[in-house]
Structure 1
Amino acid sequence: MNLKRSGALLGVVAVGAMTLAACGSDNNSSSTGVDASASNATCEGKSNLSAAGSSAQKNAMDQFVATYISVCQEKGKTVNVAYNPSGSGDGRTQFIAGQIDFAGSDSAIKDEQADKAKERCVGGEAWNLPLVFGPIAVAYNLDGVDKLVLNAEVLAKIFNGGITKWNDPAIAALNSGASLPDEKITTVIRSDSSGTTDNFQKYLDAASNGAWTSGAGSDFTGGVGEGAKGSAGVAQAVATAPGSITYVEKSFADQNKLSVAEINTGSEAVALTNDSAAKSIAGAKFKSDATGDLTLDLASIFKTNEAGAYPLVLATYSIVCSKGYDADTTAAVKSFLTSAANEGQANLAEQGYVPLPANVQDRLNASITAIS
């Protein structure tokens, strides 16, 4: 997914450029290709919203904001959403402190932070609303091996140092007939704190049948690997290092023309495509069946055995107050999220994200409507 760790200034420039493009529109079809008359966004409430957090969702948020600005312009309203991709942890901290209207986060707000958020959301609580999804590729550089199948158990052993050669019997068993070299495996990991690292490790923890024992977190816990900063850094490192492997958002693997492994889920090997990632998202379960907080049961994605479903997917949330905003902020937050969850999803695939499947979109719209 195109999760470039750009600074806030680049985000402002990108949104500003798209805003200027919107100013030239003179019909019901916005500059982003969206029919404003079909949008359910009311464009009511305060004109300027503020948000911060996940850099993973920055490019999606830029698109959401540009679309929202354009839709509201067609309805005669001037709006803006200033999103600072300062990192998930910072976004949650600012949200709790009441410094921003909503946060972006690669992990759900929970435990002590959720309790503190109740003080900020006077009379309400913090809801985690999954707005942006994107697949994580297992990208590799191995001469003569154009197709490679791995599974969670083998990946866990590669990234914790238990498997060190490409022709290891465990890899060979998943790749019958392939000519695997007697070559050292070089693992490349994120040197910076990252939601991608956290979700990759959560996947290994959930799906590797106990082969991964070091837990998860935004910092890599496996103990082996050469570090590189950012998604671009790990992708470029693998591109120049034969015998290497990494985990990285799909668009960075595509940009660097890296080979991407298929993942064996127990019943079949599944290639990474937008459709295969969407299948796993559509089958995701939530921690609760109630309308409101939509924290995902990530194991339902990571351990999927549905035919054709790719299991390694990053989910990022918008964290909002269920109630407790003033009336103008409530209206604006609901209006923006309504646009982002619907017309804002158009063309996300071009940026390496996976648009919301219909069943997830329906749950999300119901929760947005319930904000009061």
Structure 2
Amino acid sequence: MKRTSFGRTFGAGLSAAAIAALMLTACGSDNNAPASSSPDASGSGGAAADCGGKNSVTAEGSTAQQNAIAVFNQVWSQKCAGKNLSYNPTGSGAGREQFVAGNVDFAGSDSAIKDEQAAQAAQRCGGNPAWNLPLVFGPVAMAYNIDGVDGLVLNGDTLAKIFQGQIQNWNDPAIAALNEGKSLPDQAITPIFRSDSSGTTDNFQKYLQAAAPQSWTKEAGSEFQGGAGEGAQKSAGVVQAVQATPGSIGYVEKGFADQAGVPYAQIDNGSGPVELTDESAGKAINSAKFAAEGNDLALDLNSLYGTQEAGAYPLVLATYEIVCSAGYAPETAAAVKSFLTVAANDGQGGLSAAGYVPLPDQFKQRLLASIDAIGSTA
């Protein structure tokens, strides 16, 4: 997978301490996340954390989860004095490669490890499979610039046709049917897409494949395939382009839209319009199915992006921590489990302010069971 740049802009509200910790432990990042108020990094859990294992853990990969990792690291160091995660946000593909090579303790990735690379990972893990643990979720907003239109409603079908150039005007009958009672202008639509290689683009196109399989005739991938509109570099560029272009619409991380004060559309998933909130994104996460039984929690993305559950906002990015199910040295296994457990419990308190979605309880319990099952060599 190509190196993604969307995660450098995913979080929208880290504390100064969290950013400082990340900058001390990570290299090669060009984080351009907007500034915001500090999250409550203390989290919500009150129980004492299991702080076993070595003090320093290493990880590399997804830039999408970079700012969430900073929040988790801050909380872990508070709960477990002397503990620190060194996370290098070089992109998902690089993270998986470094994990397979045994150069880091786990990888962050915006896609599950699979096929030949999964077989290589099993060799690295002493003959044991690697597990995909979805720990960080972030919603994507459909930001728009239409004067006088509040509460715009769109669905997968209209979005697919807009970003392929088949719907070109805001008063198109298909859009009007979703927005009864609203006065839509006779105005050209300008789709704004990411011109750089982007995991946001990949997941947006995967959403269109799942939600509008008859209308979206293109493929997914880190490069935009739709063929309509104007490109902009990185998430900050998408927001700026939407702000500067009347009649435009673009896909961008919620934190950026909020920071810029740009409105974003509700999505009708087939059960009525849904506003983007932590609660509605959490409902989509809870509706997601896993690709298989057991402790490997790779997601069936069609079940996430194609959900029709009432009140579920479907356009949510999932990123994984890729770990050895067994085969770690005991000190490493204990430390990896400690970090991930704190992240899934106490670390959730700071995520909303940083532009992510806290894990819903039902999903979190399944995740914690897998984390607890991580083993080690004798």
TM normalised by structure 1 equals: 0.89
DSSP-derived class of the 1:263 partner = strand
* Residue 34 (structure 2) aligns with: none
Q: What amino acid sits opposite 2:321 in the alignment?
A: S
Distance, in Å, in 2 between the alignment partners of 1:163 and 1:238 is 18
DSSP-derived class of the 2:137 partner = strand
* Residue 70 (structure 1) aligns with: 78
Distance, in Å, in 2 between the alignment partners of 1:145 and 1:259 is 9
Offset of residue 5 of structure 1: 3.9
Distance, in Å, in 2 between the alignment partners of 1:37 and 1:220 is 44
Distance, in Å, in 2 between the alignment partners of 1:93 and 1:160 is 34
Deviations 1:247-305 (A, max 9, x none): 11111111111111111111211111111111111122111232x10011111121212
Structure 2 matches for 1:136-155, cutoff 5 A?
Answer: 136-155=140-159
* Structure 2 unaligned regions, length at least 5: 1-5, 11-15, 26-39
Offset of residue 234 of structure 1: 0.7
Closer/same/farther in 2, CA of residues 360 and 35 from structure 1, 3 Å limit: closer
State whether structure 2 residue 18 is matched by structure 1 residue 15: no
Distance, in Å, in 2 between the alignment partners of 1:119 and 1:51 is 18
* Greater shift in the superposed pair: 223-232 or 150-159: 223-232
State whether structure 2 residue 359 is matched by structure 1 residue 356: yes
Distance, in Å, in 1 between the alignment partners of 2:46 and 2:145 is 48
Offset of residue 36 of structure 1: 8.2
Q: What amino acid sits opposite 2:197 in the alignment?
A: S
Q: Of the candidates 44, 58, 65, which is equivalent to residue 57 of structure 1? A: 65
Distance, in Å, in 2 between the alignment partners of 1:328 and 1:36 is 24
1:12 and 1:82 in contact (8 A); partners too:
no
Structure 2 matches for 1:17-96, cutoff 5 A?
Answer: 32-34=41-43, 38-40=47-49, 42-73=50-81, 78-96=82-100
Q: What amino acid sits opposite 2:102 in the alignment?
A: G
1:188 and 1:237 in contact (8 A); partners too:
yes
Offset of residue 200 of structure 1: 0.8
Closer/same/farther in 2, CA of residues 347 and 248 from structure 1, 3 Å limit: same
* Structure 1 unaligned regions, length at least 5: 20-30
Deviations 1:137-161 (A, max 9, x none): 1110111111211100110011111
Q: Of the candidates 321, 324, 342, which is equivalent to residue 318 of structure 1? A: 321
* Percent identity between the two aligned chains: 59
Distance, in Å, in 1 between the alignment partners of 2:254 and 2:196 is 19
* Residue 117 (structure 2) aligns with: 113
Distance, in Å, in 2 between the alignment partners of 1:322 and 1:93 is 17
Distance, in Å, in 2 between the alignment partners of 1:176 and 1:135 is 26
TM normalised by structure 2 equals: 0.88
Offset of residue 205 of structure 1: 0.1
State whether structure 2 residue 236 is matched by structure 1 residue 232: yes
Q: What amino acid sits opposite 1:51 in the alignment?
A: A
DSSP-derived class of the 1:346 partner = helix
Deviations 1:171-194 (A, max 9, x none): 111112222222221111112222
Q: What RMSD over aligned residues (CA atoms) do the two structures have, in Å?
A: 2.2
Distance, in Å, in 1 between the alignment partners of 2:17 and 2:189 is 37
Structure 2 matches for 1:256-267, cutoff 5 A?
Answer: 256-267=260-271
